[in-house]
């Protein structure tokens, strides 16, 4: 097997460095040191740290996409279970990577949107794709009489995304999985509850 290119090495390592240190806290020096490559390499492969940030964000999103395919878009699961499986899988994934670093999409959302139109555009796109997948699961659940249908599926999807990002933020600050447990307990018995009489 061919060795990974230097570019690939910097990206792979950079996802972790930016996740752990934050975008502002991860300088080119830290990024290249963690990747084990000379600092001068960086500019051979990336136009700027901002351009690198966009690549890292996409790489992070690809991983969540894989989780989404197995859970949120898994047509063999009942719709409400797709949502439950998605939140559980992301939680498990973040725990494995050390949940104290939280979700990179959320972290970057609050760190970079005022500084970078490029990164903000990527974040908006990633969240729109996630919201759309949530909305599809909610609509399927409503059609199958498994999720209450007195709410607009788009509203519910947007609410799911923001509440979930908020729960991951609290997890990061509290350094505890409790906010995620509370999110699950409240969400599934209210917003994602079965219709009355079902």
The contact set with a copy of itself (CB under 8 A) reads 20-22, 24-25, 100-102, 106-107, 109-111, 113-115, 120, 123-124, 127, 148, 150-152, 154-156, 158-159, 161-167, 169-170, 172-174, 178-179, 182-183, 185-187, 189-191, 193, 196
Place of tokens 């999807």: 157
Sequence-separated contacts (24+) of 179-186 with Cβ below 8 Å = 180/87, 180/91, 183/87, 184/84, 184/87
Smallest gap, in angstroms, from Cβ of residue 19 to a copy of itself? 10
19 or 37: CB nearest a copy of itself: 19
37 or 148: CB nearest a copy of itself: 148
Determine the Cα angle at 154 with ends 153 and 159, to 5°: 95
Structure tokens, 126: 């990633």
Smallest gap, in angstroms, from Cβ of residue 50 to a copy of itself? 14
Q: How far is Cα 9 from Cα 3, in angstroms, rounded to an integer?
A: 9
Smallest gap, in angstroms, from Cβ of residue 107 to a copy of itself? 5
Q: How far is Cα 48 from Cα 42, in angstroms, rounded to an integer?
A: 9
Smallest gap, in angstroms, from Cβ of residue 87 to a copy of itself? 13
């Amino acid at each position: 097997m061919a060795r990974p290119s230097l570019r690939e090495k910097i990206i792979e390592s950079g996802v972790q460095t930016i996740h752990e240190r934050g975008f502002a806290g991860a300088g080119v020096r830290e990024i290249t040191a963690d990747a084990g490559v000379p600092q001068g390499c960086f500019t051979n492969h990336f136009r700027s740290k901002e351009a690198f940030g966009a690549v890292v964000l996409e790489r992070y999103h690809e991983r969540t996409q894989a989780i989404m395919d197995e859970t949120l878009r898994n047509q063999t699961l009942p719709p409400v279970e797709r949502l439950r499986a998605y939140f559980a899988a992301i939680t498990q994934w973040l725990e494995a990577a050390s949940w104290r670093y939280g979700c990179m999409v959320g972290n970057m959302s609050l760190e970079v949107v005022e500084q970078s139109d490029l990164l903000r555009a990527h974040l908006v796109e990633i969240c729109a794709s996630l919201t759309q997948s949530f909305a599809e699961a909610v609509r399927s659940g409503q059609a199958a009489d498994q999720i209450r249908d007195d709410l607009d599926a788009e509203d519910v999807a947007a609410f799911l995304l923001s509440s979930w990002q908020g729960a991951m933020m609290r997890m990061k600050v509290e350094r505890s999985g409790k906010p995620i447990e509370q999110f699950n307990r409240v969400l599934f018995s209210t917003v994602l509850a079965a219709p009355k009489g079902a």
